[in-house]
Amino acid sequence: SKVLFVTTANQLDTIPEPLLDRMEVIRLSGYILEEKVEIAKRYLIPRQLKEQGFGPKEVKFTDKAIRLIADKYAREAGVRNLEKQIRKIVRKLTLISTETGQKTFTVNPKKVEEYLGKPIFTTEKLYPKPIPGVVLGLAYTAYGGATLYIEARGIRGASGFRQTRQLGKVMQESSEIAYSYVRSILSEGKEPNKYFEEHQVHLHVPAGATPKDGPSAGITMALALYSLATGKAVKAGIAMTGELTLTGKVLPIGGVKEKTIAAKRVGIKELIIPIDNKRDFEELPDYIREGITVHFADYFDDVLKVAYS
């Protein structure tokens, strides 16, 4: 009865709910790319060189090579897999040294791909131009932040709503709330929008077979549906995250740091996040906030103002 169990996990989704309900969850933010590069340079690479019998000046990893390893081969929150990938490279250098007698090596991005093969992670490619019904959202995964397109498409002749691509229960509920809310606001006014009465709407979240869940995609889904129904594409270069209620209130989310980094990774410079997360963003280091314009949304009307400004 006096034993305290301390456990670790990369994600909560796979923990049985009865067990999770009895846990006190402490969320620790993962390392960002810049931090991983410094950890690799100061600790991981010197340790692996020593273990494999290399002197500190016999093998040099360029900064671009380290960034490539961290971003494309070891994107998880910690650095365990980063060290594993570095170990693979150093062991291959050991083999080359044994076979050829070569004593000094420089590991650049080209050599990284030669030694490690095709990158495990790829960066989300942005659409070349805005498309009605397509909006870029931000997600938090076991590997940190990620960008995620949400697509909406209408099928003329029948009404209804369906979603695809491994959406968890929370995300399914978010999509249904988004559909009901957008349909309600477009049906109001002197000239109500009848798009949802005349079309079956299909909401799709790509990104392979990765299971997706969590309360942070509400405003992205709602904006995709709004954009589809009105035929107006959202302006380019913007991404967003936030949950939505049936009354249009934007609720706070987690993972602001990771999501901001994910946006910067693909060149996004304008974000929409809940107003209740303003303090979270302001507490981020300057080098993460640099070059990012953030709009804080309290209600969905605030999202629309920014998306079509």
Give the pairing of strands 134-141 and 144-156.
antiparallel
Q: H-helix or E-strand containing 33?
A: helix 33-39
* Rounded Cα distance, 147 and 138, in Å: 5
Backbone angles phi, psi at 218, to 5 degrees: -55, -50
* Rounded Cα distance, 211 and 68, in Å: 26
* Rounded Cα distance, 203 and 135, in Å: 11
* Those residues with Cβ within 8 angstroms of residue 13's Cβ, 6 or more apart along the chain or in another chain: 168, 211, 213
Bridge partner residues of 118 (DSSP):
none
Bridge partner residues of 199 (DSSP):
156
Residues marked as catalytic: 216, 259
